Amino acid sequence: MVSYEKFIADIYDSSPFFGQGKARELEKFNAPYFRHLRDRPKRVLEFGSGTGMLTVPLARAGYRLDSVDISSFMHDVLSRKLQTESEAVRQNVNQIVADATTFSSSEPYQTIVMPEGILIALPSDMLQMALLRSCHRNLAEGGMILIDFFQPYYRVILGETKTDFSRFHTLEGDTYIMRVDFSNDSYTQIQHWHVTYTKIVDGNEVGSTVVDLDFRYVFYSEIKLMLEIVGFRVIELDVEFAEHRGFFLAAQKI
């Protein structure tokens, strides 16, 4: 299904097109989750915990999370972050290496959070429906899912291909040139990213790492229909999420 290389997990928070922008303004990106969780039970299921950009702030606020991610490498990054937190915060996070589409809990939750664009990281409509069915299966009646979506790269949809270059530094001080060759299949709504990270030392290229990723973008009308088919009702849509680069959605199990 989704496979993140160790390299991507380790540089995720620093990398353009991934966690870089979110890491700079984390409170703003997490605000809709906190707003909806304010009056809900503290026990939360998280699908797609990634590097813990939502996990750690929620744990600090006293929420008890079962944080599911299929990538053991992402869990390693989250574990390192938790090691710098207090014992009380660490105790609030139960890390689970598992496939969110097949995950099943013995006790239903009142709330599921799905940050980090987990749904569009599943490169087929069948997998996306499986994830939504998993949410329905793991929620109590009247339970809610909270999820954010990043919109597709529209210039790629219009032009079918595009190449972007970025230069960035990791938290450890390493410098990389990131090249992304984008291609797009409008029929399947799958956008392919061929990403080359070239490490720079003293102005010289010292090696490259190549990663290929597929994303299936969705629009609001489609995700609303998918949720209704599975058994959810949309109760909020925030199209200003991430400065209009995506949208945030809350839906209730019916």
d(CA 205, CA 198): 7
Q: With H, G, I as helix, E, B as strand and everything else as coil, classify residue 193.
A: strand
d(CA 47, CA 67): 6
- Predicted local distance difference test score (pLDDT) of residue 2: 43
Is residue 35 over pLDDT 90? yes
Query: Which pLDDT band holds residue 104 (cuts at 50, 70, 90)?
Result: very high
Nearest alpha carbon to residue 251 among 70, 114, 48, 52: 114
The CA-atom distances, in angstroms, between 109 and each of 65, 138, 146, 222 are 10, 6, 13, 25
d(CA 43, CA 61): 12
Q: With H, G, I as helix, E, B as strand and everything else as coil, classify residue 110.
A: strand
Is residue 244 over pLDDT 50? yes
For the stretch 179-204, pLDDT in tens is: 999 999 988 999 999 999 999 999 99
Mean pLDDT of the chain: 92
DSSP 122: S
Nearest alpha carbon to residue 243 among 160, 178, 148: 148
For the stretch 223-243, pLDDT in tens is: 999 999 999 999 999 988 877
Q: What proportion of the chain, given as a percentage, has pLDDT over 70? A: 98
Classify domain 6-152+217-253 by CATH architecture. Answer: 3-Layer(aba) Sandwich (3.40)
Residue of 21 and 248 predicted with greater confidence: 248
DSSP 74-103: HHHHHHHHHTTS-HHHHHTEEEEES-TTT-
Is residue 17 over pLDDT 90? no
Taking residues 169-175, report their average pLDDT: 93
Query: Which pLDDT band holds residue 4 (cuts at 50, 70, 90)?
Result: low
d(CA 144, CA 37): 10
Q: With H, G, I as helix, E, B as strand and everything else as coil, classify residue 10.
A: helix
d(CA 59, CA 191): 33
Give the best-scoring range by mean pLDDT among 12-16, 134-138, 152-156.
134-138
> Tokens for 84?
């710098």
Q: Could you tell me if 106 and 140 are in contact, meaning their C-beta atoms sit under 8 angstroms apart?
A: no
DSSP 152: P
Q: Could you tell me if 71 and 139 are in contact, meaning their C-beta atoms sit under 8 angstroms apart?
A: no
